[in-house]
Amino acid sequence: MDSILVKGNGELRGQIPIAGAKNACLALMPATLLSDEPLTLTNAPRLSDIRTMTQLLQSLGAEVASLQGGQVLALSSHALTDHRADYDIVRKMRASILVLGPMLARDGHAVVSLPGGCAIGARPVDLHLKALEAMGAELDLRDGYIHAKAPAGGLKGARVVFPLVSVGATENALMAATLAKGTTVLENAAREPEIVDLARCLRRMGARIEGEGSSTITIEGVDRLGGATHPVVTDRIELGTYMLAPAICGGEVELLGGRIELVGAFCEKLDAAGISVEETERGLRVARRNGRVKAVDVMTEPFPGFPTDLQAQMMALLCTAEGTSVLEERIFENRFMHAPELTRMGARIEVHGGTATVTGVEKLRGAPVMATDLRASVSLILAGLAAEGETIVSRVYHLDRGYERVEEKLSACGAQIRRIPG
């Protein structure tokens, strides 16, 4: 297992290109199952999760070609040869559950492993299942699998009211509804930019969708969908992550492709902490205003609130802020596993349930630390960028799921960072 060695090396200066969004691409790829015509995704990120989704789709009989070094994905699924998503793939990547809605909508049946939990929480899929049942699906849960069947005439349009906001359940229901008979209304739907991107792609394929980005999405089912070419939206979580690099180290970095509307609530917190963000022709320029970062309180919420996927990275910034910050994690039940690792670096953090209280210290000190999940891994790298001495982050396979070429992108701005093959 590889590790990454980071050595605090002063201010960062330069430019970092932001890739296409992992969490958009993982929803866009299963959309190929809805049509027998080609779907081409451009600006695709080069990540291990994308390779895992590729393997899953290929195991169902879809063709997926990775072109231009992985930045273009050419997908097509004339006829599926299998309708079973096995546990060994689904447990590695929970987004695999997103093949369920499309397979049910297109062919009327599917067998998909229940994903099981992960490091940050139990991650149930009950809301996905309730939405599909509302559209007439019969679901039988046995031996760890969801055995799903659509009614003889196919899925039917329905009114689905989500009791809590779920990105994945919204995506599964949205894709299934495009081919259902009649009208589907999704209420309390997720509003994330990745949902908007999926709706735009489906519309290019011929779907009839209104309201994406708001809490109510209305879909008129159609008989079939065609092909499309669609650019994957910029990754707002990678964007926010790298915005924190100059915030933590000082200096000034331009994030190429960054757009302020993708990170509104996050920028408000950066501003309160004393970090300047300005729009440029090519993206966003971030710099730390003079003096020490100020403590701020953070509460994670569904979009457009502060993203849970940036909570760990924000905590790394607040470890050396002036004052005490309170971070409330309201989306997942166990998403503070980076805290004990940051504490090894000298941070002062007290975790009680879903709340972490961070008392800022002048400087962190490098130490060997362990990545536990995707976003925790990158928060440890951010902390190491400004710490005194060396930090070795182990188990970086977590990191490779969601960030392409981290060492390259940060080294280009002056960071001392390299991968140690393990």
How many residues bind to ligand EPZ according to rule CB under 6 A? 23
Q: Which is nearer to ligand EPZ, 221 or 402 (CB)?
A: 402
**Nearest Cα to Cα of residue 262 among 279, 243, 237:** 237
Query: Can residue 105 be called a binding residue for ligand EPZ (CB under 6 A)?
Result: no
Query: Can residue 116 be called a binding residue for ligand EPZ (CB under 6 A)?
Result: no
Query: Can residue 184 be called a binding residue for ligand EPZ (CB under 6 A)?
Result: no
Query: Can residue 168 be called a binding residue for ligand EPZ (CB under 6 A)?
Result: yes
Query: Can residue 375 be called a binding residue for ligand EPZ (CB under 6 A)?
Result: yes
For the bound state, the minimum distance from the C-beta of residue 374 to ligand EPZ, rounded and expressed in Å, comes to 5
Query: Can residue 149 be called a binding residue for ligand EPZ (CB under 6 A)?
Result: no
Strands 183-187 and 208-210 turn out to be: unpaired
**Nearest Cα to Cα of residue 308 among 173, 123, 92:** 123
Query: Can residue 125 be called a binding residue for ligand EPZ (CB under 6 A)?
Result: yes
Q: Report the site for ligand EPZ in 280-319 (rule: CB under 6 A).
A: 308-309
The answer to whether residue 118 is catalytic is: yes
Burial 99-116 (b: 16+ CB within 10 A, else e): bbbbbbbbbbebbbbbbe
For the bound state, the minimum distance from the C-beta of residue 98 to ligand EPZ, rounded and expressed in Å, comes to 8
**Nearest Cα to Cα of residue 299 among 327, 338, 263:** 327
Tell whether residue 417 is among the known ligand binding residues. Answer: no
Which letter does DSSP use for residue 410 in this model? Answer: H
State which of residues 6, 17, 23, 30 lies at the interface with ligand EPZ (CB under 6 A): 23
For the bound state, the minimum distance from the C-beta of residue 399 to ligand EPZ, rounded and expressed in Å, comes to 11
What does the block give as tokens for 32?
A: 């190929």
Secondary structure E strands in 202-248: 208-210, 216-220, 228-231
In angstroms, the CA 416 to CA 40 distance is 37
Classify the C-alpha dihedral 33-35-38-40 as positive or negative. negative
Stretch that binds ligand EPZ, among 125-133, 175-183, 288-296, 392-400 (CB under 6 A): 125-133
In angstroms, the CA 408 to CA 417 distance is 8
Query: Can residue 126 be called a binding residue for ligand EPZ (CB under 6 A)?
Result: yes
3-class DSSP state of 167: helix
**Nearest Cα to Cα of residue 403 among 273, 244, 294:** 244
Query: Can residue 123 be called a binding residue for ligand EPZ (CB under 6 A)?
Result: yes
Tell whether residue 125 is among the known ligand binding residues. Answer: yes
Site string for ligand EPZ, 344-373 (x = CB under 6 A): ------------------------------
Query: Can residue 266 be called a binding residue for ligand EPZ (CB under 6 A)?
Result: no
Q: Which is nearer to ligand EPZ, 94 or 292 (CB)?
A: 94
Strands 84-85 and 72-76 turn out to be: unpaired
Tell whether residue 94 is among the known ligand binding residues. Answer: yes
Q: Which is nearer to ligand EPZ, 13 or 130 (CB)?
A: 130
Q: Torsion-angle region of residue 168: left (phi > 0), alpha (psi -120 to 50) or beta?
A: alpha
Phi, psi of 189 (to 5 degrees): -70, 155
Cis peptide before 302 (omega within 30 of 0): no
Query: Can residue 13 be called a binding residue for ligand EPZ (CB under 6 A)?
Result: no
Query: Can residue 182 be called a binding residue for ligand EPZ (CB under 6 A)?
Result: no
CA atoms within 13 A on the CB side of 131: 34
Active-site option among 118, 267, 319, 413: 118
Tell whether residue 331 is among the known ligand binding residues. Answer: yes
What does the block give as tokens for 107?
A: 């062919």
State which of residues 29, 195, 345, 374 lies at the interface with ligand EPZ (CB under 6 A): 374
Q: Which is nearer to ligand EPZ, 3 or 308 (CB)?
A: 308
Q: Would you tell me how many other CB atoms lie within 10 Å of the CB of residue 79?
A: 8
Residue with tokens 């229901």: 173
Stretch that binds ligand EPZ, among 67-75, 124-132, 358-366, 387-395 (CB under 6 A): 124-132
Query: Can residue 376 be called a binding residue for ligand EPZ (CB under 6 A)?
Result: no
Which residue numbers belong to the known binding site for phosphoenolpyruvate? 22-23
Q: Which residue ranges make up the site for ligand EPZ (CB under 6 A)?
A: 23, 26, 94-95, 121, 123-128, 164, 166-169, 308-309, 331-332, 374-375, 402
